[in-house]
């Protein structure tokens, strides 16, 4: 079972579009590479099977009361206890209680519960869901989903690109704060396909992760290894353990 180190890595994605704070996940066998195309306007259709290059241009603004609210994932809401989240997972996915596994993070002192979900995204393959509970609050602070060969042995680079494009198109129409939206943003280890926040700065981040190679004509080619989706209650000040100032 992979370790969950998600919360602090998201801070940089919300505070700097230039930084690349997310480290690569565990390596998997190299898949068929796909070329990262030239820049395109936000919302424009990318070349088949590949994401467009970086742009942070946002769609036109809507009324404040129409801004998308990010309160969790499906029936699991930020602030819920572990018992309530487990009940929500069973309800949402018709899961058996023993399908839910627990995991602790020794450095952040957070607690997570995880479950594999076939077809979380229709025709998208099996994903692993993780629900993270805060160090102090012991309540839900983040939900993550990962698609990779580690979650589904039949996963391919083409399927990861397809899943990423479907989810990006969905989020682009959801009504996040226009000035919070970034799409197709290169970072270390991949491309942020979408990032957006609601009126309370709760965020969604969609990251296509892999390795870049420089090919002929200075073209950068991405070989994707995983697709990560995060719903985050507070990425700027996550509820994780930190040493008090002046202690060392």
Determine the Cα angle at 36 with ends 168 and 34, to 5°. 95
pLDDT at 219: 81
- Exposure of 67 by Cβ count < 10 A (0-12 exposed, 13-18 middle, 19+ buried)? buried
pLDDT tens, position by position, 183-224: 999 888 899 999 999 999 999 999 999 988 888 888 888 899
Task: Tell whether the model's pLDDT for residue 156 goes beyond 70.
Answer: yes
pLDDT tens, position by position, 59-114: 444 445 577 899 999 999 999 999 999 999 999 999 999 999 999 999 999 999 99
The model's confidence at residue 39, banded by pLDDT at 50, 70 and 90, is very low
């Amino acid at each position: 079972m992979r370790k969950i180190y998600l919360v602090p890595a998201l801070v940089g994605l919300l505070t700097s579009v230039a930084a690349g704070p997310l480290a690569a996940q565990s390596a998997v066998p190299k898949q068929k590479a796909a070329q990262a195309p030239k820049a395109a306007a936000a919302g424009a259709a990318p070349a088949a099977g590949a994401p467009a290059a970086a742009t942070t241009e946002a769609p036109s603004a809507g009324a404040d009361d129409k801004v998308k609210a990010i309160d969790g994932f499906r029936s699991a809401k930020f602030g819920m206890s572990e018992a309530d989240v487990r009940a929500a997972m069973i309800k949402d996915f018709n899961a058996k209680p023993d399908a839910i596994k627990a995991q602790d993070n020794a450095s952040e002192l957070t607690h997570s519960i995880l479950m594999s979900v076939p077809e979380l995204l229709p025709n998208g393959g099996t994903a692993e869901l993780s629900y993270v509970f805060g160090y102090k609050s012991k309540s839900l602070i983040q939900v993550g989903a990962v698609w990779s060969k580690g979650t589904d042995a039949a996963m391919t680079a083409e399927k990861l690109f397809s899943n990423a494009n479907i989810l990006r198109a969905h989020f682009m129409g959801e009504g996040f704060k226009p000035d919070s939206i970034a799409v197709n943003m290169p970072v270390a280890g991949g491309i942020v396909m979408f990032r957006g926040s609601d009126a309370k700065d709760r965020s969604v981040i969609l990251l296509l992760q892999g390795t870049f190679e420089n090919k002929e004509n200075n073209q950068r080619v991405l070989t994707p290894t995983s697709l990560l989706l995060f719903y985050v209650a507070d990425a700027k000040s996550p509820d994780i353990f930190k040493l008090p100032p002046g202690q060392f």
